């Protein structure tokens, strides 16, 4: 057998193995943030497509989850296709999502009476396979449910985003329980970006990458998504000097 023929046989066997394993051997697509300091902390260099990700608010945003929702909207805005947003509370402010790059024409809202309805809609949307991202607002995310959502996302390559919103601050301790999500983020509001003139600068958040599969946790001070869904690193110092805006890491 010639070297060329042997190589073709090996490649064919690899393709068959990848097919039998459900595509696990194929390289996973990612959606980069476009910020090297953040993308370098994520396996593959970005948010994994075909996976489930969790986002929650920290500090005063634990209950309302405004920063968390806008962070998720920025990710969804940079994906391709329609976005399904599943929720039980009719308090989502569409103009704010638009400012984060997610235009209302792209969003399909699915409102349910109970969390079980949101979970069912999330799984159905992720299984559909024709959406850019599926976002769901949940108080709790049990391990079994998270596995089902992650597998559904994996089969279709759709980004799954769960925004954890609690009714009271004490419920936020549930965020420490394990799930099947590929990444877990927490967004806390910081003083806005300083300007050389009077006015309110770009909203600034502390973004904590609390968990990431096959990666390291880290903290970043970032600017809220712009009209194209892009975040940026903002200086840590009060005078706006060009200091690094990521604050170390811890083992994940």
Residue 199 has pLDDT above 90, yes or no: no
Q: Give CA–CA dist 143/141, Å, rounded.
A: 7
Find out if CATH 3.40.50.2300 is the number for domain 35-250. no
pLDDT tens digits along 98-129: 999 999 999 999 999 999 999 999 999 999 98
Res 116: pLDDT: 95
Q: Is 165 in contact with 63 (CB distance < 8 Å)?
A: yes
pLDDT tens digits along 31-88: 999 999 999 999 999 999 999 999 999 988 888 889 999 999 999 999 999 999 999 9
pLDDT tens digits along 234-252: 876 444 444 455 555 543 4
Domain ranges of the chain: 35-250
Q: Give CA–CA dist 218/186, Å, rounded.
A: 11
pLDDT tens digits along 37-52: 999 999 999 999 999 9
53 backbone dihedrals φ, ψ, rounded to 5°: -130, 145
216 backbone dihedrals φ, ψ, rounded to 5°: -110, 145
54: β partners: 162, 184
Q: Is 146 in contact with 108 (CB distance < 8 Å)?
A: no
Residue appearing with tokens 């980069």 = 32
Q: Is 94 in contact with 85 (CB distance < 8 Å)?
A: no
């Amino acid at each position: 057998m010639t070297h060329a023929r042997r190589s073709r046989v090996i490649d064919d066997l690899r393709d068959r193995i990848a097919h039998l394993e459900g595509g696990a051997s194929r390289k996973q697509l990612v959606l980069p943030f476009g910020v090297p300091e953040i993308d370098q902390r994520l396996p593959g260099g970005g948010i994994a497509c075909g996976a489930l990700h969790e986002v929650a608010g920290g500090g005063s945003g634990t209950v309302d989850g405004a920063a968390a929702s806008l962070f998720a909207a920025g990710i969804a805005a940079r994906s391709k296709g329609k976005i399904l947003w599943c929720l039980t509370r009719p308090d989502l402010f569409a103009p704010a999502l638009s400012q984060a790059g997610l235009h209302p024409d792209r969003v399909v809202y699915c409102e349910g009476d109970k969390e079980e309805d949101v979970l069912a809609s999330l799984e159905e949307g992720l299984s559909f396979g024709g959406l850019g991202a599926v976002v769901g607002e949940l108080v709790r995310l049990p391990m079994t449910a998270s596995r089902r959502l992650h597998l559904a996302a994996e089969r279709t390559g759709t980004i799954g985003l769960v925004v954890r919103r609690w009714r009271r601050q004490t419920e936020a301790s549930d965020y420490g329980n394990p799930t099947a999500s590929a990444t877990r983020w927490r967004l806390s509001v910081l003083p806005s970006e300083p300007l050389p003139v009077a006015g309110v600068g770009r909203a600034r958040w502390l973004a904590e990458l609390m968990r990431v599969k096959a990666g390291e946790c880290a903290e970043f001070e970032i600017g809220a998504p712009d009209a194209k869904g892009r975040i940026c690193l903002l200086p840590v110092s009060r005078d706006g000097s060009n200091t690094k805006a990521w604050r170390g890491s811890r083992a994940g």
